[in-house]
Amino acid sequence: MRVDVVTLFPELFDTFWKTSFVGRARESGTLTARCRSPREFGLGAHRSVDDTPYGGGSGMVMRVDVMVACLESLDGDAPDGLRAHRVLLTPQGAPFDQARALALAAKPALALVCGRYEGFDERIRGQVDEELSLGDFVMTGGEVAAMAVVEATVRLLPGVLGNEASTEEESHSPAHGGLLEYPQYTRPLEFRGEKIPAVLAGGNHAEIARFRRAEAEARTKAKRPDLYERYRVHAQAEADALAAAKAAAKAERKANKS
């Protein structure tokens, strides 16, 4: 996958691109990452990237012509020749979540566009494929959001984490029903009088699986009732579909006999 980031502060990514699994993904060639500053396409002696808002108001707005020139240059000189899927990072976008990370992980090339100041000239929205938000709060720039998107997306690429199962058996994973993960323990067996649940040391894998499922359901219900309701509705729909399929098969067998 290629990830390009449009940012006025490429230096923020210097360590990020080299560290942990993102660094390893780059070393192995799974990830190609580049940052480019719109300043390179800025106007006039000061290479301006922003201007005052039409209609008045406080702060400065990032110019659409400069931002799009920067964005297009990244596709223009990408060795893979692909047009990247363009993501605008703003507090007004759709909330970024695991489902969106999975969808982004399927794209061969991504361009993440970070704003600063009062944000972007509205017309940039016609030049991107989607708009994502890190949450219902406002930061001074999109860089932390871009890093979050890279962290959540790149770890889903095949081979990046080593142990594929670890991205399926975790909180928010569709393979895990979207539930929060069950509680995890490691040594010591007892800490300040608190022991680990006995079932986990018992070696009965079926019992452990049942315990973990029940714990995942209970903690999702307690901590995130919104997620639990989605899980419950989905599980009920699946059970109904299975019951309907079984009933249809039974009816067909009966009809074939008579």
Ligand X SMILES: C[S@@+](CC[C@H](N)C(=O)[O-])C[C@H]1O[C@@H](n2cnc3c(N)ncnc32)[C@H](O)[C@@H]1O
Interaction site with ligand X (CB under 6 A): 89-92, 114-116, 118-120, 133-135, 137-142, 145
Q: Which is nearer to ligand X, 104 or 200 (CB)?
A: 104
Kindly state the smallest distance separating residue 5's Cβ from ligand X, in Å: 11
In angstroms, the CA 191 to CA 101 distance is 36
Kindly state the smallest distance separating residue 68's Cβ from ligand X, in Å: 15
Least Cα distance to 116 among 135, 143, 93 occurs for 143
Q: Which is nearer to ligand X, 70 or 160 (CB)?
A: 70
Least Cα distance to 71 among 32, 108, 22, 110 occurs for 110
Q: Which is nearer to ligand X, 142 or 178 (CB)?
A: 142
Kindly state the smallest distance separating residue 21's Cβ from ligand X, in Å: 22
Kind of pairing between the strands at 190-191 and 130-133: unpaired
Buried b (16+ CB within 10 A) or exposed e, 41-59: bbeeeeeebbeeeeeeeee
Which residue number places its CB atom closest to ligand X? 115
Kindly state the smallest distance separating residue 141's Cβ from ligand X, in Å: 5
Q: Which is nearer to ligand X, 13 or 182 (CB)?
A: 13
User: Measured on CA atoms in the order 20, 21, 24, 29, is the torsion positive or negative?
Assistant: negative
